[in-house]
Amino acid sequence: MKASFVTHKDSALTHEAVIRLTELAGELGIGLSASEDELSRHDLSTSDVQVADGSERMGVCICLGGDGTILRGLRSYAPAGTPVFGINFGEVGFLAASEPESEGIEQGLRRALTGGWETIDLPGLRVTSEGGEQLAFNDVALQRRPGLRVAEIAYSVASDEVGRVRCDGVVICTPAGSTGYNLANGGPVMAWGVSGFTVSFIAPHSLTARALVVAPNDQVRVGNQSESEPVDLFLDGRPSGELQPGKLLAVDFVERAGLLAQTEGATFYHRLREKFGRLAN
């Protein structure tokens, strides 16, 4: 078996766990790999960890961090068919399979390396624009730039224009991403396993703008109707370009974009209660 890892951008948070991971992998006879950036940040040599770019299929990619880190692991390793196992070192960790606070880092690492988990298929969103194609697992957001005027967004579904809204932006999300930015917009929470995606608006200047759940086979096209001001594009919370005035981008639902590891028997509703219930206390 081969395994890879991705860590939180604050390397101090996960350094001890990474060192223990390399030791455990050696004890279990598992080849370990990571990007050159990970090796540099954790002062590892290629005698301990091989260099990998995510293109080779691994037995598992272990993500030490929060949801942002797990999403980064999915974007890097899921296209090759590698399951992604998250150990939460972040705030929410909704996508994580292991919580160090409850089971300890050692047990989480061992479970990740020895296959003590099951996988679920995660859908994604394929974004097509003049800049080419990109993939998101949580959400696609178009946002007006700070200091500029309110954005003017038009969107259509399956070639039919649905509406034009003056707003601070628009968010298109998968079920996995529905508990993020979409939830803050008042959009619906969709259970994992629901086939479809949602369009919701950020601070709409309208009494009629409502979130819409879109059928999985229908394409959403979003246009920037401003005469002079671009809007910024974010994929899974990362800056990913811009949409110029008068331009369009298309978003398609991808049924099986990646594999996410989870605790055997865990459910979406259990995660929803544990993660958001815990934050509310």
Q: Amino acid identity of 185?
A: N
Rounded CA gap, 58 and 202, in Å? 38
CA-based nearest residue to 165, from 123, 195, 199: 199
Hey, what are 3's tokens? 């395994």
Q: Is 271 strand, coil or helix?
A: helix
- CB-based contact 191:175 (threshold 8 Å): yes
CB atoms closer than 10 angstroms to residue 264: 10
Q: How many residues does the chain have?
A: 281
CA-based nearest residue to 32, from 16, 44, 15, 43: 44
**Cα 166–171–177 angle (5° rounding)?**
160
Active site residues per annotation = 67
